[in-house]
């Protein structure tokens, strides 16, 4: 059986910075409230008319990852694209990326696992490499949240959290000891409606919605039962990290870098305390980007590498929790 490893990483965030004070201009909120509850100071939101679609941001991150890996785009033999905010209802963004990269007709798979999407995507790609089916897989997480958020006071519990951006990695067949050690995936659909965006959907036909023309219908906006999600997040994050450690017979102190999905700085800090990790064992950049869902881990990984915080031989853990609920982890030897 082969092994896979990340050999190139890239990310892209839109230029437009939106601070908490900017939001407080048109939402009843404050920098104090947002900072205290989430740790977020600013996020990137595309400007109206911007050409940065989900797949376009994914393309920019992908080009950086390809260059960083030192391969040609023509070496890519499969694409896995994770997002909850695709350009179109269908087809998914994987094929758009294949087209816009201008590469041969390789397979393109879309992953719909929200905040856990990137770790799920890595796990899928890892299996393809392990079996020998593919050698160079482009794995992308990209999100364009801002156009779909309720930016009024009504939506403040959700809209202040999310940001736009993209991250990508090249997962390659490994010829040494480094690479992915294990991945762990979970779901609990019982809580699907606690963090969701309901309509329009196949059980809510567009003609019926248009006919109702109901201004109180907020089902087009993401909904989150914040407290409930928070409580589940802290439990599941810790569980799935411990699962990865136990499987590989290592301890929390062996982790060189934990890259948690950037859901809320308070969640990351809670996990850090629970696992007894030091500040330099956990990477956070939610302060600058907010929660970018499937993009948050590859953006954080890319920045951690740029800052020299991950070195060859390090034990790196990625972990995520989110809508579904779904949660997942991946442990790697860098």
Is there binding between residue 160 and ligand UT7 (CB under 6 A)?
Answer: yes
Query: How far apart, in whole angstroms, are the C-alpha atoms of residue 228 and residue 324?
Result: 13
Minimal distance, residue 261 CB to ligand UT7, in Å: 6
For ligand UT7, the nearest residue by Cβ is 226
Binds ligand UT7 (CB under 6 A): choice among 148, 157, 200, 252: 157
- Contact, 41 vs 73, CB < 8 A? no
- Contact, 76 vs 137, CB < 8 A? yes
Question: Given 115, 136, 232, 264, which residue is catalytic?
Answer: 115
Minimal distance, residue 197 CB to ligand UT7, in Å: 13
Is there binding between residue 270 and ligand UT7 (CB under 6 A)?
Answer: no
Tell me the number of residues near ligand UT7 by CB under 6 A: 20
Question: Given 145, 232, 291, 317, which residue is catalytic?
Answer: 291
Cα torsion 81, 82, 87, 91: sign: positive
Listed in order, strand segments (DSSP E) in 13-116 are 17-19, 42-44, 78-82, 107-111
Among 60-68, 153-161, 177-185, 300-308, the segment contacting ligand UT7 (CB under 6 A): 153-161
- In the three-class reduction of DSSP (H, G, I as helix; E, B as strand; rest coil), residue 57 is classed as helix
Indicate if 291 belongs to the active site.
yes
Binds ligand UT7 (CB under 6 A): choice among 71, 115, 310, 317: 115
Minimal distance, residue 293 CB to ligand UT7, in Å: 6
Q: Are strands 78-82 and 107-111 parallel, antiparallel or unpaired?
A: parallel
- CA of residue 328 relative to chain centroid, distance: 11
Binds ligand UT7 (CB under 6 A): choice among 2, 230, 270, 334: 230
Binds ligand UT7 (CB under 6 A): choice among 93, 165, 298, 322: 322
Query: How far apart, in whole angstroms, are the C-alpha atoms of residue 223 and residue 215?
Result: 16
Minimal distance, residue 221 CB to ligand UT7, in Å: 14
Question: Given 261, 264, 285, 317, which residue is catalytic?
Answer: 261
* Main-chain phi, psi angles of 321, to 5 degrees: -145, 145
Among 30-38, 86-94, 174-182, 212-220, the segment contacting ligand UT7 (CB under 6 A): 30-38
- In the three-class reduction of DSSP (H, G, I as helix; E, B as strand; rest coil), residue 45 is classed as coil
- Contact, 184 vs 84, CB < 8 A? no
Minimal distance, residue 195 CB to ligand UT7, in Å: 6
Q: Residue 311: in which H helix or E strand, if any?
A: none
Contact positions with ligand UT7 (CB under 6 A) in 234-263: 263
Q: Which residues are catalytic?
A: 115, 261, 291
């Amino acid at each position: 059986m082969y092994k896979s490893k990340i050999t190139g990483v890239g990310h892209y965030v839109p230029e437009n910075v939106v601070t908490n004070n900017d939001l407080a201009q048109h939402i009843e909120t404050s920098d104090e409230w947002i900072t205290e509850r989430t740790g977020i100071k600013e996020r990137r939101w595309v400007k109206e008319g911007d050409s940065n679609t989900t797949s376009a941001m994914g393309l920019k991150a992908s080009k950086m990852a390809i260059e960083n890996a030192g391969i040609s785009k023509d070496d890519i033999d499969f694409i896995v694209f994770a997002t909850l905010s695709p350009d179109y209802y269908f087809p998914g963004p994987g094929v758009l990326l294949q087209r816009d990269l201008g590469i041969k007709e390789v397979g393109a798979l879309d992953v719909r696992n929200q905040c856990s999407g990137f770790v799920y995507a890595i796990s899928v790609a890892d299996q393809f490499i392990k079996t020998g089916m593919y050698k160079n897989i482009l794995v992308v997480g990209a999100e364009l949240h801002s156009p779909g958020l309720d930016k009024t006071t009504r939506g403040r519990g959700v809209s202040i959290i999310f940001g736009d951006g993209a991250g990508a990695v090249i997962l390659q067949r490994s010829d040494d000891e480094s690479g992915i050690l294990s991945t762990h995936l979970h779901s609990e659909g019982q809580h699907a409606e606690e963090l969701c965006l309901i309509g329009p959907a196949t059980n809510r036909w567009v003609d019926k919605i248009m006919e109702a023309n109901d201004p109180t219908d907020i089902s087009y906006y993401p909904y989150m039962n914040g407290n409930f999600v928070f409580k589940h997040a802290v439990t599941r994050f810790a569980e799935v990290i411990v699962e990865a450690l136990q499987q590989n017979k290592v301890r929390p102190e062996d982790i060189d870098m934990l890259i948690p999905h950037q859901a809320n700085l308070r969640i990351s800090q809670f996990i850090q305390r629970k696992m007894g990790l030091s500040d330099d064992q956990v990477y956070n950049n939610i302060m600058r980007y907010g929660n970018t869902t499937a993009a948050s881990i590859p953006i954080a990984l890319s920045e951690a590498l740029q800052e020299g915080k991950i070195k060859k031989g390090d034990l790196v853990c990625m972990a995520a929790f989110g809508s579904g609920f779904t949660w997942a982890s991946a442990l790697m030897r860098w």
